[in-house]
């Protein structure tokens, strides 16, 4: 039976899903609260992981080990790395990578974790297609883009760092959890997709934009997740 693990880094990224789900069970591990139940008749475990790659990886592994999820969806907000992807638009991951990993000194490409054998973790094709199709139905006024999600333990809010990340990794959006979730899902052979609504442009205006747009962006992403669940 399908069981979908849904991760948001922050409360505002999962609060609407928590409110709407029929809760059956609540368990706490690693200081994270895992809510198990159904949402639109689909088995789900909804959890706030906390911010950053360590929290996100721990959370994903617990979903695999303790809840035996069959699919993982990460919902939330991100900074846009492309001029055409505006605040409010949605990015659906084709793949995800760590932009803050650098072991080039031993011959690994920038971004590749040694000995994993893979630099960019590919998202599940079916989940990607479903997210894109549902987005057009649920959020018709909003642009939806497929692309690479790049993650690091840094809030990107300056054009120099942003430009370097774009040049090195050709990402569509930048955030702080997706690659860790993708990496963990990859090691556990669990299909995943990352869905991120743009809260800022990861440039010099990000510090101002982010607080103004995070709530609405997070809600768009969660609404999309909610509607794709029964179709997985
Ligand atoms: N407001 C929070 C901190 C947010 S950190 C607090 O004070 O607790 C930013 C969060 O949004 C992360 O979870 C990250 O995944 C995402 N994000 C949005 N824009 C980003 C950007 N420009 N760079 C990095 N992460 C970004």
Q: What is the pLDDT of residues 141-197, one digit of tens each?
A: 899 999 999 999 999 999 999 999 999 999 999 999 999 999 999 999 999 999 999
Ligand 1 centroid, distance to 53 Cα (angstroms): 12
Is residue 39 within 8 A of residue 22, CB to CB? The reply is yes
Residues 32, 50: contact at Cβ < 8 Å? yes
The catalytically annotated residue of 13, 36, 112, 203 is 13
Q: How many whole angstroms separate alpha carbon 211 and alpha carbon 200? A: 9
| Residue 104 three-state SS | helix
The domains located in the chain, with CATH, are: 4-231 (3.40.50.1580)
Tally the C-alpha atoms within 13 A of residue 163's C-alpha that lie toward its C-beta: 4
Q: Which two tokens stand for residue 215?
A: 């709530």
Supply the pTM of this predicted model.
0.98
Q: Which tokens sit at 11?
A: 């409360």
**pLDDT over 90 percentage in the chain:** 97
Is the dihedral angle over the CA atoms 54, 60, 61, 62 positive or is it negative? positive
Active site residue 214: no
pLDDT digits (tens, 9 = 90+) for 78-128: 999 999 999 999 999 999 999 999 999 999 999 999 999 999 999 999 999
Closest ligand 1 atom to the C-alpha of 201? 22
Contact predicate 33/47, CB 8 Å = yes
Beta-bridge partner residues of 90: 144, 197
């Amino acid at each position: 039976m399908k069981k979908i693990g849904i991760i948001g880094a922050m409360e505002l990224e999962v609060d609407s899903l928590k409110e709407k789900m029929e809760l059956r069970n609540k368990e706490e591990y690693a200081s994270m609260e895992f809510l198990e139940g159904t949402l639109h008749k689909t088995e789900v475990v909804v959890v706030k992981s906390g911010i950053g790659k360590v929290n996100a990886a721990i959370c994903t592994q617990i979903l695999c080990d303790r809840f035996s999820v069959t699919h993982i969806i990460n919902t939330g907000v991100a900074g846009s790395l492309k001029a055409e992807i505006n605040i409010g638009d949605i990015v659906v991951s084709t793949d995800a990578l760590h932009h803050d990993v650098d072991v080039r000194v031993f011959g690994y490409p920038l971004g590749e974790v040694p000995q994993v054998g893979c630099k960019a973790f590919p998202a599940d094709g079916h989940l990607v297609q479903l997210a894109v199709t549902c987005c057009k139905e649920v959020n018709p006024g909003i642009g939806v883009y497929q692309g690479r999600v790049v993650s690091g333990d840094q809030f990107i809010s300056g054009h120099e760092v942003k430009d370097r990340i774009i040049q090195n990794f050709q990402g569509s959006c930048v955030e702080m959890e997706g690659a860790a979730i993708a990496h963990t899902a990859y090691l556990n052979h669990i299909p995943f997709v990352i869905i991120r609504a743009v809260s800022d442009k990861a440039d010099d205006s990000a510090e101002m934009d982010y607080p103004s747009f995070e709530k609405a962006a997070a809600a768009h992403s969660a609404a999309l997740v909610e509607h794709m669940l029964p179709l997985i």
